[in-house]
Structure 1
């Protein structure tokens, strides 16, 4: 039984009560005087009946029609949940930046579903725990001084990636290890598979359980078990690595010697999990701080990997697809790279080199505008009644924002569906765009306000670094019969429905073309 069939069955059961309950709700609305955002008709318990014919996983086309009909702030009901979508950049700025803390909370995703707490940066309620976790990540891992420590690791990843692209298989010899060093390829693949299973569950299932939770948890118990299994598998993989870092921390002299011995290849002296071992969370029950549990640390490590890899790899594929589709743009970018690095005989385009490449930055920004990996931000929750655009967003409502549509707004961008990096060069319409959204919102690939992505700076660094090096190493061409198709599909992020295939022609010290990928 799928979601639509379940809803139809439920509708047949509750329709006899609908008229009475609607009348009661209408009366309560009159008493409160609240002006909720408009939206399609709904019935108690079920919410909007349009879910009988529309999938929540493909909500964008539906929202476009609703915004055209009702305006830039729209209400939808999914079961008992009230969802509000904001589709105007100015109203988004007023809500996320102007209203500040009022919309900085998060609805619970898995607390009731999988029996775990929400002590991660993305899911924590707005409060002391969230502030502690976010401050720890920003200060101890994402601060520029910390990010520089991982330059050798990024260079190693670049070498492995280029080798794999050139030879269809990695010829590097990664070292196995469970002490915070490099993992061998099977271990990496196992972690990647566990992450994919978890992301697939998160992307496809929470909305299902929003309808009549007591019933859907029974009907879809196999899906629920898949989520539990995915979490358990992550912990089986992460906890031994966490324990290895814990043991390493107890032997500082040996750890320092190991770090010095491996420093030429990469750096192991600092890891995100090390900072978690020292954290003490506020305990509201007895007033005493406590250490993170292994389960909490595993969840935080999973979050760190997801935020640091999935969205960035998605954005990288979209950018490279546009460069394949637009060879003149690729040629212009390659010319900038060569002119900047013409005296640089090193193997790579360094992170410092990218700072002197305005066209590279423009290409990355245009990629994020045209193909934001997430078409919506992570859902916010109103901590109190908030006025937005003349409407009341009531306390407890889930609120989201149409990220992609704001970046494609024809009132703000010329030829918004075309890939035109020049718009971000001096004098262009995107010159000086505020990607943080603090001054204004014209595009918001990282969100905005207090829950903006903490890794914004690192994401931009990684995209610029890898795009520059991939274009310097290879000329990327279309494969006849496998032309670039920019059709989207929704997974955890918005990815290419038909993954990119390109013919790679080595530009440096190579005499034979690289096979297709």
Structure 2
């Protein structure tokens, strides 16, 4: 039994290792037989930190071997630019992993779908029906209501002078915003009000397993081996997730669209696609598989948005609590522009440059996806002068790039002033994915399509939290400096959640919590 397996592995390794003799590959650490460089990933460091240390030793473009998989590790803005511009189409696909095959229902969602007709259709639907400028404007009232609601909830908690665990409130706020946007505000029957924690637990569990590789990811011929039961756990959680999403779909089918065709919400549009015959790439799908596409797209949009947006807000609050002078400066800017006789509105954000700089600096130092989402090359190409064969998995270490001293002054310090002109060293750097030293949302064809929505929620929520309350560390976390350690996961959560005391500073009537 062992000999055929080893022989199969050798054949696959050699097939994947073919490179023309005259072509030079990237530098690579010494590899062990069979496992390649997987031994380098052991230890207590987080994976993006391990990759950063490898880049420090071997350079900004490194080739790794994970079993029979070839991995290109990019830790430099110039090489990232090549991958996302010159070779954007080549690297537009995704690798087949257990996370994609199981948690994304066989690569059916927008995040994990391979580059091709299905992905293009999913991207078009999401962009036009959920994330366009028109849709964002239509849903401004949702962001307004739910950010005000979280202020009210925190204020009620604060009356007892008991610590506030910020992330819990932020997760529920973002969840309700996303669900109301996706479901047109008709969230009765769309998400049961008494079960928000159940949905949030599913979000966290799904994202946890999304970041765990399994044996078959590196040795495809061993994908049937479920070491440690990870794949079984993935199937259990995706079964629960699909049941929730399918219940939303069936509830909406019973309710009917309930509005004229021109005002269909995202869920209505998805159901009309599943029930219709107007999408070529879905023509051969069964009704059950079409429903699975709808559920997968819903899950990808909802789950990705909830965790990453709340995570970024928590990091922002942590940095401000660690540097009270920055907190005071942000509040003074809001006070000067808005005063204390009205709420902060979305139209105010453009006139709050320091707040915008705070959001940028948070996303620079604490990107929600430190390694972005892996890409895969569909044909041979050259990156940084090195030959990269087809089938190579691309990992871009945005965490490392965004701390590169070649691009950032004092890269390890939280300094929002760097984004303010004309003196700011990064005053011209934006979040559109074309400044490759700053790509928290990725870049190119597979950049995050929800970046504009995420930023609108981040900025408004941050402004209102700072406007409504004075913030102090809870006694349990009051020390010379807050622990700013990162936790494990596909995203980059704070290892120890922020606990604060919130003291109302704006009149209660502004945010309806009197």
TM range (shorter): 0.7 to 0.9
- Match of residue 97, structure 1, among 61, 76, 85: 85
Task: Let me know the Cα RMSD of the aligned residues.
Answer: 3.4
Match of 2:166 in 1: none
Match of 1:324 in 2: 321
TM-superposed deviation, 1:70: 1.8
Please state if 1:188 is matched with 2:186.
no
Match of 1:39 in 2: 28
The 5 Å alignment of 1:247-258 reads 247-249=254-256, 251-252=258-259
Please state if 1:277 is matched with 2:271.
yes
**Compared CA separation, residues 113 and 308, structure 1 to 2 (3 A):** closer
Larger-Rg structure? 1
Please state if 1:244 is matched with 2:251.
yes
Please state if 1:379 is matched with 2:367.
no
**Compared CA separation, residues 337 and 232, structure 1 to 2 (3 A):** same
Match of 2:53 in 1: 65
- Structure 2 residues without counterparts, runs of 5 or longer: 159-168, 509-514
Please state if 1:85 is matched with 2:80.
no
Match of 1:498 in 2: 496
CA distance in 1 between partners of 2:334 and 2:473 (Å): 21
8 Å contact kept, 2:37–2:66: yes
TM-superposed deviation, 1:277: 1.8
- Structure 1 residues without counterparts, runs of 5 or longer: 1-9, 257-268, 511-517
Q: Which has the higher contact order (CA 8 A, sep 6+)?
A: 2
* Total equivalences in the alignment: 475
Please state if 1:431 is matched with 2:427.
yes
SS at 2:470's partner residue? Answer: strand
- Match of residue 158, structure 1, among 132, 147, 150: 147
Match of 1:4 in 2: none
The 5 Å alignment of 1:55-454 reads 58-110=46-98, 116-168=105-157, 180-182=186-188, 183-204=191-212, 206-215=213-222, 217-220=224-227, 222-249=229-256, 251-252=258-259, 270-279=264-273, 280-283=278-281, 293-342=290-339, 345-346=341-342, 348-427=343-422, 428-438=424-434, 440-454=435-449
CA distance in 1 between partners of 2:10 and 2:151 (Å): 63
TM-superposed deviation, 1:478: 2.1
Match of 1:509 in 2: 507
SS at 1:387's partner residue? Answer: strand
TM-score by length of 2: 0.83
What CA deviation, in whole Å up to 9, does each residue of 1:388-423 have, x standing for no partner?
111111101000111011111112111111111111
**Compared CA separation, residues 282 and 36, structure 1 to 2 (3 A):** farther
CA distance in 2 between partners of 1:27 and 1:236 (Å): 39
8 Å contact kept, 1:281–1:291: no
TM-superposed deviation, 1:299: 1.4
CA distance in 2 between partners of 1:463 and 1:250 (Å): 30
CA distance in 2 between partners of 1:210 and 1:473 (Å): 48
**Compared CA separation, residues 67 and 374, structure 1 to 2 (3 A):** same
- Match of residue 37, structure 2, among 33, 48, 58: 48
CA distance in 1 between partners of 2:483 and 2:16 (Å): 52
TM-superposed deviation, 1:31: 5.1
**Compared CA separation, residues 240 and 64, structure 1 to 2 (3 A):** closer
CA distance in 2 between partners of 1:434 and 1:52 (Å): 33
CA distance in 2 between partners of 1:302 and 1:376 (Å): 21
SS at 1:488's partner residue? Answer: coil
Greater Cα shift, 157-166 or 362-371: 157-166
CA distance in 1 between partners of 2:103 and 2:244 (Å): 19
**Compared CA separation, residues 146 and 127, structure 1 to 2 (3 A):** same
CA distance in 1 between partners of 2:288 and 2:341 (Å): 49
**Compared CA separation, residues 112 and 335, structure 1 to 2 (3 A):** closer
CA distance in 2 between partners of 1:450 and 1:467 (Å): 29
